[in-house]
Every structure is written in C-alpha cells, then in structure tokens.
Structure 1
Amino acid sequence: MVFKCQEDSFLKQFKSTIVSCENANLDWVTEDKGETTKRQLKGFNVVCEDTILFPEGGGQPCDYGSLGGHPVRNVVRNGTQAVHFVESPESFEEGTEVEQVLNWERRLDHMQQHSGQHLISALFDSEFKYETTSWWLGTSTCYVQLKTPHLISRESLDLIEQKCNNLIREGREVTVHLIDPEKEYDFQGARAPRGLPKDHVGLARVVNIEGVEGNMCCGTHVTNISQLQAIKILYCEKVKTNVLVHFVVGERVLRKLAEVFQREQQITAAIKGGPQQHLDLLQKLQQNVKMTRKCFQQLLKDFAHAEADRLEDLPKAQRPKYFALHRRDGIEVDFINAFLSHAPEEIFYFLTVSEGVAAGSQAKGHLVLRGNPEVVEKLGPQFLELLEGKGNGKDGKFQGKINNLSKLDDCMQLLEGHFKPKKAIPEAASAS
C-alpha cells in the first residue's frame, strides 16, 4: 500500500478515519546534554485508513506529529497498515475522523538526508562503480556503505561532492512512479539493492532523479533536488571490506558549520591564537606537554629512589617489618618498579598507584606486593578481593589491576593485623 505521506511528502495536515485502537506501551529514550533517559510511555496503537506520518522503513526513521491533538511517538508499518503509537490518556473511537498533524521540521530533515543519499549513491555508482549496500540516517550525520575494499581519497570525495552540488544548482526534478513489481521491464534502469519487503502488497515506488537515476524506495523525498540546498561529504572510514562515507545535507550543513565555527572560537580563546595559528600552537602545546611529562617522570623516579634510600639508610634493627606507600596522583606503575629496585629486600612491601583521585573513592589503579612468599600468597588474593581487582604472582612478588580503592583501609588493617606482635599467653598457675 502507498500511504498519503508517500503520495505527497509536503502535506502537513490531513484528516482520516480511525480503523482500530488498542492499549499499548512504548519504551521511550531521550538524550539531553549527553545523558540518556529511559521511560515507558502509556498510550494506544492507532490505525487510520491513511496517514501522512511516515512509518519507519527504507533506512528512514518514522515521522513524529500528533493525532487528535495528542503526540505520536512512533509509527511502524504492519503489512498494508501504519500503526501509530499515540501518547494519550483517552482511547480513540473506531469510525471517527481524526486530524493528523506532521512535525514538518523532522520530515524536511529526513527528506533532505534521504534524497541526498540517493544522489550520493548514484554518483559513486556512475563515477567509480561503487555499489551502496546500506545507509544510515543518524540524528546529526549520515553515511552510505559502499562495496569497495579501498579507502576513498579526499580528492574522490570532493569530486562527488562537487558533482552533487552542481546538480543541486541545476534544480533537477525528483519524481515518484508507481509500478507493478511483477512486470520486470518496469524496473529497467532502476536500482533495487535490497528488493521489496517480503510482506509488500500492491504497487512499488521508484524514485527518479531527473537525468541521474531511478531507485526503488519507500521513503519520503523532496520534489526537486534544489530543495537539498547543499551536500557536504565529511569523511570516509574503512569497515572490513566496505567503506562508510559520512555526509550531511541541507539544514544539517548549516548546523554543522555553526558547530564547527563555535568550536573554532572556543579553541581560539583557549590557546590565544587565531584559526591560522591553531595547528602551530597545538603542536607547541603537545611538545610542552611531552617535555613536562618527561620531567615529571624523572622527578617521580628520583622521589622513588629517595624513599627507597631512606629505608636503606636505616640500621637493620630499626627497619620496619612492612612498608606501605599509596600514590593517588595519576602516576604509572613505573614508580613502583623504580622504588623496589632500590628498596631493601627483607621488608614486606604493599604499594599502589591510582588515577589521581582522593582516598576512599572508586578508582582504578595498580597493586604490587613483595616480600615473604608465604605472606604474599596469603594477602595477595585477599587484597584483590577487597579492591575488586585481578592479578597473580609467584616467588614473593604479586601484582594486579585494581578497580576500587574505597576499601584500601581494610587492606591496611589486614596488613597491620598480620604483622602485629602476638601477645604472650601467660603460663597456667601451678596447682596448690
């Protein structure tokens, strides 16, 4: 079945009759400032005689809008019917007429990205014989997956982009033809990489871009590619034996430009230099960070040696039975190795380093024990269990990765309890 949205993709309001209405729930996911929120919506699955709200299909997400003044959160195709999930406290009576209102901003964006994908795919096919095997319409960018093992050069991407925008300026018409899928000759010259859905009924749609291509597709499209405004091919990446070409079309080009310009202003303010200086200033900043890190590592090495030498300088009778040192300033395990290379052998050592966080917090790090093999074998697994880590050891040395420092004090209590002098048991009084 061809829905009203497929007959006229620019129709924003429409009245249709309710065919059925059933209670339903919908898992609804929203994102705000990088945080994802999930909740379950209560409403109804509503089927109308026809619809201007596109049901998800052909790589294109569904439309949003309203039905009888209540928000439509999802639309899916079920054979010849479009099922609308309507968030509403009240059901809809079968046989009554209801007004559908389209979220036009979302529809326009989807049409621009989808028609732009057709144009990009057609030109990659005609210029390089790269077949489009799938595509993805994301919330900020899109990509086409091309059947080629070779990473596409920037020059080739620019060539396709230029040809796309030249055709947009020419204002080629986009038309939709309904054909009988059983008449093979009707498909001549039309790309149909995925074929028709198994449950398809009735005529099939072929979307034609004047002088460019015909492509079997169920999605909504612009009527003239001038309505795409512009296409920007961002980059490509290799995925197994295919290549993904990322792009934006129309309003997304303007949003991407605004986003990039805002980021450029932020970088300019942060590194105190204009766009022409960004690369040089960032390279200098990287060099400074590299030198600073090298100096920091040398200072830590010197500090580790100094700590070890302090123990070495103690008379043997005054040396402690155990020594614990915990660094929480983000240093690496090299600090521990440098310390142990100079530390006296007869002392039991419990050493940790972690990711620059305060004590008692859940943080990742590294643990090393060295000393009497029997004590190491006993305490190592206990410490790992408390610190939620994994590791192993032998010959008096144990090391592992830890994920939670909140119970470091419990480890210290175990260590102190093991080395605490045992109280002498008084002799029993002699019998009188």
Structure 2
Amino acid sequence: MVFKCQEDSFLKHYTAKVVSCTKANNGFEIILKDTILFPEGGGQPSDHGWLNDHEVKNVVRKGAEAIHFVEVDQVPLQAGELVHQKLDWERRFDHMQQHSGQHLITAIFDREFGFSTKSWWLGTEDSYVDLDTKDVTKEQMETVENICNQLVVDCTAVSVKVYQPDDPALKTGALRTRGLPDDVSGPLRVVTIDGIESNMCCGTHVKNLAQLQAIKLLGVEKAKNKCLVHFIVGNRILRKLNECYEREIQFNNLLNGGPSSHVDLIKKLQTTVKAVQKTSKKLIAELAFQEAEKFTALSDKPRFYCLHRLDGASSDFINTFLRNAKQPDCFFFLTNGDDSGKGQLLLQGKPDDIATLGDAICKMLDGKGSGKGSLYNAKVNKLKEVWRCQKLIEEHFKAEISESETRSK
C-alpha cells in the first residue's frame, strides 16, 4: 500500500484498485493498492472520506496496510475493482494545521527551555503536548507563542523527505526517531521545519508555516506526572474567536453592559445572588419552624402527618421541621421539590412502618433511595403522585388501627 497524499497535501481525489474487501463487525474492511486516506497514527486521528458513495469514518494501519472501514450491510466493493476516493478536506487540513503546529511548539519548548515532549494528543476542540517538566510559567508560554507566530509570519518552509531504513543519515542523530512504532517497515518519512528541527513522522503536514495562520497556547493543565500545554492552531483560533465573540454579545444583553464591564457586573450579580440565597434560607427556616409549631399545637396528635412544599429542592425545610416537630410515635411523610416534579423524600417513623411503606412510596414517586431503622431518604422525579402515597399511608394506618381494636376486644 502507498499513501499517495504524503508528498502532495492537496490531492483530494484519487482512483485506486481494491485489493480485498472482507466482512467485519457492522460492516466491511477494505484494503486498496493506494490510498489518500490517512490511517490513524503518530498521535493523529484518521482521515474521513468516501470510497465511491460509501462513507469512511475510520482508517487504521496494520503493518504496511491501511484498513478502510465501511459501515454497510451488503458487500460494497469487489477485489480488482477500481474505486474513486474522495477526501474530507476540511478535516484533513485541520489535522495538518494542528499536527504541524505541534511539531513547532514541541521544537521551541525543547530549544528554549529544554522541555522535551513525552506525548501529544490531537483533540476535536483543542490539542495538547505533555512536556517533561513539572510546570510551565506564563512567561515561558508567551515566549514560545511569540517565537512560533514569528516563524509563521516568516513563512518558514516545511518539507518532507523519504529515507530508506538503511540510509546512513538516519544514524547521524540529526533526525529524531521518537515514538517510531515497532511494526513500521519500508521507507521512513522525515518532516523538517526549516532551521528548527527534523523529525520522523507518518502524519500529514502543511508545506509552509504560513498555512498555520497562527498558534495560540491556551493554558497549562497539571496532573500526576503530567504537564499538559493545551493549544489551538489556524482555523480553530478563528472558530474559538467567533464563539467567544458570540458569547460576549449574549453577555452584553444579559448584563446590560459592554465587555470591559463584564467581570465587575458578574461579581456584583454574584454578591446579590448570595444575599438573596441567605435571605431565602432564613425565610425557609422560619417557615419550617412555623409549620413545626402548628404540628406541636395539635391537641390530638395524629398517627401520621404529611407535608409537601414546592419551593426548591433544598433539604433545609425538611430538616428544620423535623428538628422542631418532635413526636416519636408519628409517621412523617415529607417532600420538598420544584414544579418539575423532582425533589426529595424523607420518611420518619417506627421501623416497621418504614419497612412496609418506604420502598412502595419511593416507587410511586419514581425515586431512588433507601431506608434504615426509623428513616428513609430518596431522590424522586414524580412529586405529582404524592396524593397516591398519602392514600397508601391512610390505608396502612386504618388497617393498623382496625387490627389493634380487634386485638383489644
């Protein structure tokens, strides 16, 4: 198999002969004599494209072969048949920008600060390099970004050269062999950024750094034994800028102020929200206390008591009520939630009653919870079914009273 697009990054259509087409899970695996669709490798995801009218969203390399996966039920192609390949150029060019950008970022971090790259990842939104260091300062980020963008402005050339495995040049040390897979065979490609670095790589790249348009380092993410520098290149910067601008316009309308005042306006809003939340919490506590006093003032203490509120999913109301409505022999059925029907359930009573009613009530309210001893807690989704639960509780205690009266006779 020959990957025709390695030396010509602008080849978007190609015709090649089918070598094999074999059944696989949910589709067929197709091998071609030549291909323009890049198989996943070198940290770069595979190309997408079409074989005739059959969409290809996955290409993997096995040894020297590129396996194209087509998700169809019937045999799509026959061995020996000529097939027209079409490349998803937008995806390809995006990957070219990110991959060449990664080579440049890696080289400049290494040259300027001695930070080598342990690995890298090309993501759908942004990418990152994992540097062999504990941290990267803001000043170091700015230095690398400025150098990279100056090289873009200078239209620095990028070239690809193919070497045979026994070529003496590969043993000089000038060409990096980092991350070369064990099953690679045949000619080896070396990508050179003029005056910066030469590095073995199977991926797709731009021909000139000017095609990168720009490089933006987004930030540093530190984790155990990792220091990830996130970045975007080229068209992704334009897309990110557009997203930020549209978000800025929405903030202008929501906050009634321009971008320069957004931070101050949001801080002011946060202060207001905290004050309102504090007041609301106090009012809920007072309301719960009043409800508890009403219960305590009842001359005939009920066998069960139901109380439901739709003023938020907070458990403060329920907890405050129970602290003040002390009645160990009463069965409490309490819920708190909002108009969506989602909220919390709490049952408190004798263990036998909890064991009998807990799971049944939870099921009626489409909840998930559990009980132990005299308590049962659950998160529920159908508070509108509370009336059914109350009916179940009434029937339970009517039966209990009748049984008690029968025993007393």
- Give the TM-score of the pair, scaled to structure 1: 0.84
- One-letter code aligned to 1:417: E
Matches of 2:408 and 2:152 in 1, distance apart? 102
Deviation digits for residues 325-358 of structure 1 (CA, Å, limit 9, x no counterpart): 2333324222222112221425524244445244
**Residue equivalent to 1:129:** 114
Matches of 2:350 and 2:309 in 1, distance apart? 23
**Residue equivalent to 1:10:** 10
Unaligned runs of 5+ in 2: none
Q: What secondary structure sits across from 1:105 in the alignment?
A: helix
Matches of 2:182 and 2:343 in 1, distance apart? 51
Matches of 1:270 and 1:236 in 2, distance apart? 31
**Residue equivalent to 2:395:** 417
- 1:391–1:400 CA contact under 8 A, matched in 2: yes
Deviation at 1:272, TM superposition (A): 0.8
- One-letter code aligned to 2:209: I
- 1:18–1:47 CA contact under 8 A, matched in 2: yes
Matches of 1:233 and 1:100 in 2, distance apart? 35
1:117 aligned to which of 85, 95, 102: 102
Worse-superposed segment, 378-387 or 234-243: 378-387
**Residue equivalent to 2:238:** 254
Worse-superposed segment, 259-268 or 135-144: 135-144
**Residue equivalent to 1:106:** 91
**Residue equivalent to 1:336:** 318
Matches of 1:347 and 1:368 in 2, distance apart? 13
Deviation at 1:382, TM superposition (A): 5.5
- Give the TM-score of the pair, scaled to structure 2: 0.88
- 1:176–1:206 CA contact under 8 A, matched in 2: yes
Matches of 1:319 and 1:401 in 2, distance apart? 26
Deviation at 1:221, TM superposition (A): 0.4
* Aligned residue runs from structure 1 range 316-327, under 5 A: 318-327=300-309
Matches of 1:19 and 1:377 in 2, distance apart? 68
**Residue equivalent to 1:199:** 183
- One-letter code aligned to 1:328: L
2:151 aligned to which of 155, 167, 180: 167
2:199 aligned to which of 215, 220, 233: 215
Distance 1:84 1:376, change over 3 A: closer
Matches of 1:50 and 1:193 in 2, distance apart? 27
Residues 1:146 and 2:140 are matched in the alignment: no
Q: What secondary structure sits across from 1:190 in the alignment?
A: coil
* Aligned residue runs from structure 1 range 362-373, under 5 A: 363=342, 365-369=344-348, 371-373=349-351
Worse-superposed segment, 372-381 or 119-128: 372-381
- 1:323–1:347 CA contact under 8 A, matched in 2: no
- One-letter code aligned to 2:396: H
What root-mean-square deviation, in Å, do the aligned CA atoms of Structure 1 and Structure 2 show?
2.8
* Aligned residue runs from structure 1 range 399-414, under 5 A: 399-405=376-382, 408-409=386-387, 411-414=389-392
- 2:216–2:237 CA contact under 8 A, matched in 1: yes
- 2:347–2:354 CA contact under 8 A, matched in 1: no
Q: What secondary structure sits across from 2:18 in the alignment?
A: strand
- 2:354–2:371 CA contact under 8 A, matched in 1: no
- 2:309–2:335 CA contact under 8 A, matched in 1: yes
- One-letter code aligned to 2:175: A
- 2:313–2:344 CA contact under 8 A, matched in 1: no
**Residue equivalent to 1:38:** none
Unaligned runs of 5+ in 1: 27-41
Deviation digits for residues 354-402 of structure 1 (CA, Å, limit 9, x no counterpart): 452444xxx3535241x445544554465556664344445xx414343
Matches of 1:16 and 1:419 in 2, distance apart? 80
